[in-house]
Structure 1
Amino acid sequence: LLDDAEDAFEDYMDDNDRVPFIFTILEGAQYRIGKIQIEYGRFVKGEFQEITTKQIPEFKPIIPPEVLKSIISSEEGDVFHPNYLRNEELEDSDQEVIDDAYGSRAYIDTSVSVVQAPNLKDNTMDITFQVKEGNHFFEDNGELKWERRPIKVGLVKIEGNTKTKDFVIRRELSISPGEPFDLGKMENSRRRIEGLRLFKGVSARPEYSDRERGSTIENLVIGVRETNTGRFQIGGGLSTDSGAFAHVILSQDNFDIMRWRRPHFLQGAGQKVHLKTIAGGQLNYYELDFQEPWFMGRKLKFSTSIYSREMEYFHDKFDVEETGIRIGLERAFFGDENFRGKLRYTVEDAGLVDMKSTASTELLAEEGMNLYSVISPGLVYDTRGGGYLPNKGQRSSIDLEYSGSALGSDKEFYGIHLKSAWYFKGLGEGHVLEFLTQAKSYDSLEGGDTIPYLYRPYLGGSKNLRAYPYREVGPRGSAGDYIGGNTMMHATMEYSVPTPFQIMRLATFYDVGVLNANSYDFATGGYNDDYGFGIRLEIPFLGPVRLDYAFPLTDDGFNGGGGRFSINMGYTTSF
């Protein structure tokens, strides 16, 4: 019979190149959670031994059972999901939540196991969490005893940093020797070090040395893997605002201005230095940036930038030249890294040159170079995640600017700029909704209402109203030139979705904005708006690129027309 079956199977395979498979699935009854119990104890020879007040009258758990039940997601009567109990990919699985609760109290020796007991009669699953709160139970002359003290940090050991100096890592720690060994602070420290973007990988763990009973000291081990933090790039780009350009970028994100010895010449202190050169038909740009994240040993970011720019794309009636230096300070407020204050001081020689005689009288009056000395304090609150395209959080800021003769400036004015960008998960997997809004107004301190052209708010171009040419929205001069305004309001809403191609996303958007001639004039009657569609590309060695095609809706009768194509760098709309 077996030989006959094998012959029949071979004949069948000779005649058919595909074999049908039928899977019969018996789903059975849906199980719900029955009783949830919390047991405390110790493991003896691999077996859990529950400890109660009957064995040790003075025993009291670190976290009472009612508190543990309140913080886990499983509840009696809910549908039973095994993954909710313990899952490496779920940060909020029940066991992870319990581990974190003990870890934040410095009881790092805690372990949690789960026992499941099905009830076939009523289709429920009883769950018992067996909690070993540490090595608190011991036997002394055959008598079971109990003592409990939280673990404290002993030494903090740094491993793997062959190039980066120890203090660059240690200053990011939120936990110190002698403090309770809070696993939450340990993880926060790991994330802060990872956020430096100086290392290929970062780990943080207790050393778990062989402590004697009664010892409350445990060492913390921080492990890092060094990576190349220098960059030399020769390339090019294209913007519909400034045209095509070539660039050379030389940067080091782990710079050390004081290290002049090899093998790690000028590296290892966590400073940043960037040298950028851009050359194009309408733009020439040179900039040297330096940043010290811990100025004078304090958590105070110091930055400075020296720059020179020649720009021909601002207007067809003149060119723009700027040469200056900018110095800035920035630090977190109230112990919250998301809430930061900043102070910048800029001194620059800037102005409109090569002015054509056909320009409006308002622009002709601006011809020439002026010295600007500007101080700008600001606040920013940023809760976005990392990456090119956040899908949650916000970035909101307020910036003030003051330019006056007391600072040595040729022009006297002040202004305020409010910005807010919000990011949300969309309707499907990978969908993102962006909502951005801003308002900006400047006023003169010289008895008139004229603000220097280079500091006036503007609209139009690939970064705000995409259906309109660069800076061609708002008030117009005597010869019909767009001359900018003193008050601007703008909002953008964009929805983007992923595609089967990893490097590409599709987007649709709506832009609206108004630019008024007078200071603090927030009337919306003269608004312009548009809608459109776009492609977001992540190109290797170049970065994210935005391709948009926008159609004007409401124009001023002069800047309208058909659709307009724009291209720019970045995934998100910037302002």
Structure 2
Amino acid sequence: MSSSHSSGLQRAARSARLVLPLTFAAAALTTTALRAQDFEGKTISEVSIRYVGPKTIDEARLRNSMSTSAGQQYRTEKIDSDIKSLYNSGLVEDVRFLAEPAGDRVKLIAEVRTRSTIGGVGFVGNSIFSDAKLAKETKLKSGGILSDSSIVDAKRNLEKYYQGYGYPDVAITYRMQPTAQSGVADLIFVIEEGAKNEIRKIRFEGNTAFTESELRKNMKTKEKGLLSFLTKSGRFETGKLDEDMESVLDYYRSHGYLRVSSPGVRRDPVGDGRVDIVIPIVEGDKYTVAGVGFGHMSVFKPEELYPALTLNGGDAYSSKKMRADITMIRSYYGSRGYADATVTPDISDAGPNRVKIVYHVTEGSRFRVGDVHIEGNTKTKDKVIRREVPLKPGQYFNSVDLDVTKARLQNLQYFSDVQATGVPGRDGYRDVNILVEEKKTGSIGVGVGFSSIDSIVGFINLEQTNFDLFNPWSFTGGGQRFGMNLRLGSSRTDFSLSLVEPWFMDRQLSLGGELFYHDSNYYSDYYDQKNIGVSTFLRRPFGEKGALKVEYRLEQVSIDLDPSVAVLSAKSVLAGGPPSQFLAEQGDFIRSAITGEYVYDSRDSNLQPRSGEKLSASLTVAGLGGDVDIVSTSFQGQKYWNLWGDSILSLNGELAFADALSGNVPIFDRMFLGGGRTLRGFDFRDVGPRDAATGEVIGGRSLAYIDTEYTIPIIENVRAAVFYDMGFVNSGSWDVSPNDLYSDVGIGIRVKLPISPLPLALDYAIPVQVPDQKADKGGQFNFSLQSQF
């Protein structure tokens, strides 16, 4: 509130009308004066904005931070909320609301002094980097608002930039310099660069329980290495180094060393601007847990919580497990509406090198969900966000669902940042505040690329993941997914047009459809395949992590044999062998099929999973008219573990079968292995039963494969991988005998590109087990975008 409130009241008392700053709840001006609360409940006739000083912010932007408007009833707490909101917006330096009678109504005046705008950014004291470079790093723009938050962010950006280049002691202050233009100021940063330090070695003193190598793995700060120009190793930030030391100490505490300590990080100069980082460790004794108990509780009984504890009597003390147990206890309470529940661990000695842990819970009150407020969405409709929020007004407040809300909104890939918080509302309620920062959701891609299947490929992709069919010209904000793709390669021509409505009829029911045309001659040297048709599907969630999908697909499949097949078949017959099986595949086929699929997905991300699993089971029946009469089924699974150092272990596999209800299983419904997505040590579709006449893989009716992959981070957005794949394809239906088992081993790299959310996978694999030597072509390179969907 402004200190000018008293003078405002005095001016109001001298005037013919009554003007009351609303922060004074009961300020009597004269014997006939009204008090501020006398306006309570009256209808607001008008809300006007009065500028004190230069007008640097449009009224519309100020009103976006105000909930009070004409026609509403005057409420003191709502005005106070608007004052806070205006200050928090960073747009104003000072604000006060004035009120005056307007008949039986009340008129409000918001008197504001707005922030100055940025005229320019200057620097004093910098010698390492130019003014232009530093100005770019501030991320400030001329004409922007000089808010406290923007200045602090700019200062932090500069400090991080200097520290990233080895100047850990940089100190930055700032001042504002008025310009000749009213309401415009220059921002001047004063920089003390300090001396450059590069980390030669990171050493520990006093450590006996763990090696230096084990302890360094817990630090983000790294020694300077050969690839420091890429990894930026050898550079450090003082704040990050303090975090690293705490991370090392916590590693000790998580392995029983409750009393571990350190006098602090030391920097030992070794010349040429290089230093050794030395971290002394006082390990202390290793402790075990004598027992775990709970203080007084009324909502839960200890017996309900004990089975969920990870730290129990007899275990080595672990700060990591204790934090997990505290989170678990709070989640138990939060799921029942006790949003303010707090858990305090009491650790007491229970004999030599033994401790007892007692969790004291302050339960607080139980809350219901009040209002759900959404801010920051300028394109996305409110309902698109609101339907992803499991917290509904009137229900008991569930703090766990705040995390669910954030995860769901992040998985939409519409927003660069999502915040979901519970804040006090009216008595007995918690309001939900959702703040999003939108990002670009549409993309147009035109270019030429390379593929391990068909070498050179040109493409045109048009995608909008936040599409709105009913918002002409803009076509954004409705949460639909639209895609149009054209690919022209030396071995393919693909075109597709798709649209998905994930909330059909405002229910959790996805409706989608696709028109497609695929002309492919990379499947085999002996035939080309063309698919043209349409598909539509419905998808409904079952439980929190499951979904059932039903799809109908109608297409014409054309198989065009190469003339050499007839020649090779005739030669085989003349030699006493069988004719080519490919001869029966020639022609056009109408395929009318319906597929039912159930998917369970508990992965923490669908782009780069680190934990959880995805399991699916599907059944396809073709024969609803048309020329193809088969049944096929598939069972797929993915499992992920996040291990030390952010390494990831994954398993991925499939078991599938196809059988003919009448006639034969056509080649386009048979199964193959080999290539970048299955057995990476073999050519694409080069594992399976072969045609005797041509020697080409003809495909099987039973398939199984599994791959194991382990990746570790190298630098930001780059991971190294090692993997092992194995599998088989059998000619008979429902045949799971692994008599002809193929396997390979390999290494790879995963690179997250700025132009795609999916990482680029580059792999090299060599065959290990090869029952059919025709499939052994030596080591294979494969590269593709690694989709985990």
| Structure 1 length-normalised TM | 0.77
Gap runs ≥5 in structure 1: 1-12, 41-59, 136-149
User: Structure 1 residue 462 and structure 2 residue 676: aligned?
Assistant: yes
Q: How does 1:107-118 map to 2 (within 5 A)?
A: 107-112=338-343
2: distance between equivalents of 1:520 and 1:130? Answer: 58
Whether the 8 Å CA contact 1:552–1:561 is kept in 2: the answer is no
2: distance between equivalents of 1:38 and 1:250? Answer: 58
Partner of 1:106: 337
User: Structure 1 residue 500 and structure 2 residue 500: aligned?
Assistant: no
Q: How does 1:145-294 map to 2 (within 5 A)?
A: 150-209=366-425, 211=426, 215-260=427-472, 265-294=474-503
Task: Indicate the structure with greater helix content.
Answer: 2
1: distance between equivalents of 2:448 and 2:678? Answer: 23
1: distance between equivalents of 2:298 and 2:408? Answer: 33
| Structure 2 length-normalised TM | 0.58
| 2:583 counterpart (343, 360, 364) | 364
Taking structure 1 as reference, are residues 340 and 114 closer, same or farther at Cα in structure 2, changes over 3 Å only? Answer: closer
User: Structure 1 residue 346 and structure 2 residue 346: aligned?
Assistant: no
| 1:418 counterpart (635, 642, 651) | 635
User: Structure 1 residue 61 and structure 2 residue 298: aligned?
Assistant: yes
Partner of 2:364: 134
Taking structure 1 as reference, are residues 78 and 532 closer, same or farther at Cα in structure 2, changes over 3 Å only? Answer: closer
Deviations, residues 468-509 of structure 1 (Å, cap 9, x unaligned): 322233333352242523423232333323253334433333
- State the identity %: 29
Taking structure 1 as reference, are residues 479 and 281 closer, same or farther at Cα in structure 2, changes over 3 Å only? Answer: same
1: distance between equivalents of 2:723 and 2:741? Answer: 17
Whether the 8 Å CA contact 1:347–1:373 is kept in 2: the answer is yes
Give the C-alpha shift of residue 345 in structure 1.
0.9
User: Structure 1 residue 375 and structure 2 residue 600: aligned?
Assistant: no
Indicate the SS of the match to 2:338. coil
Taking structure 1 as reference, are residues 99 and 125 closer, same or farther at Cα in structure 2, changes over 3 Å only? Answer: same
Whether the 8 Å CA contact 1:468–1:552 is kept in 2: the answer is no
User: Structure 1 residue 534 and structure 2 residue 771: aligned?
Assistant: no
Partner of 2:618: 399
Gap runs ≥5 in structure 2: 1-268, 570-579
Partner of 2:70: none
Indicate the SS of the match to 2:394. coil
1: distance between equivalents of 2:722 and 2:523? Answer: 27
1: distance between equivalents of 2:752 and 2:418? Answer: 26
Give the C-alpha shift of residue 373 in structure 1.
1.2
Counterpart amino acid of 1:134?
G
Taking structure 1 as reference, are residues 277 and 115 closer, same or farther at Cα in structure 2, changes over 3 Å only? Answer: same
Give the C-alpha shift of residue 374 in structure 1.
1.3
Indicate the SS of the match to 1:457. coil
Give the C-alpha shift of residue 255 in structure 1.
0.8
Partner of 2:20: none
Deviations, residues 311-351 of structure 1 (Å, cap 9, x unaligned): 12111122221111111111112xx2322211111111221
Deviations, residues 135-167 of structure 1 (Å, cap 9, x unaligned): 7xxxxxxxxxxxxxx322222222222221121
Give the C-alpha shift of residue 302 in structure 1.
1.3
Deviations, residues 374-421 of structure 1 (Å, cap 9, x unaligned): 1111212222221544333322222222221xx331222222222223
Whether the 8 Å CA contact 1:535–1:548 is kept in 2: the answer is no
1: distance between equivalents of 2:318 and 2:745? Answer: 45
2: distance between equivalents of 1:377 and 1:16? Answer: 68
Whether the 8 Å CA contact 2:707–2:726 is kept in 1: the answer is no
Give the C-alpha shift of residue 26 in structure 1.
5.4
Whether the 8 Å CA contact 1:459–1:474 is kept in 2: the answer is yes
Taking structure 1 as reference, are residues 443 and 538 closer, same or farther at Cα in structure 2, changes over 3 Å only? Answer: same
1: distance between equivalents of 2:396 and 2:320? Answer: 31
Give the C-alpha shift of residue 180 in structure 1.
1.4
1: distance between equivalents of 2:391 and 2:452? Answer: 49
When structure 1 is superposed on structure 2, of 268-277 and 351-360 the one drifting more is 351-360
Q: How does 1:406-555 map to 2 (within 5 A)?
A: 407-425=624-642, 428-446=644-662, 448=663, 450-542=664-756, 543-555=759-771
2: distance between equivalents of 1:314 and 1:200? Answer: 40
1: distance between equivalents of 2:720 and 2:665? Answer: 39
Superposed CA RMSD: 3.6
**How many equivalent residue pairs?**
507
Deviations, residues 529-556 of structure 1 (Å, cap 9, x unaligned): 3333333333432542232232253232
Deviations, residues 229-255 of structure 1 (Å, cap 9, x unaligned): 111223343332232212221111111
1: distance between equivalents of 2:286 and 2:637? Answer: 47
Whether the 8 Å CA contact 2:565–2:582 is kept in 1: the answer is no
Counterpart amino acid of 1:282?
S
Taking structure 1 as reference, are residues 82 and 244 closer, same or farther at Cα in structure 2, changes over 3 Å only? Answer: same
Which of the two has higher C-alpha Rg? 2
2: distance between equivalents of 1:16 and 1:550? Answer: 46
Whether the 8 Å CA contact 1:172–1:192 is kept in 2: the answer is yes
2: distance between equivalents of 1:254 and 1:80? Answer: 48
Deviations, residues 60-96 of structure 1 (Å, cap 9, x unaligned): 83345776787666667876666776xxxx5x253x4
Whether the 8 Å CA contact 1:242–1:282 is kept in 2: the answer is yes
1: distance between equivalents of 2:564 and 2:405? Answer: 61
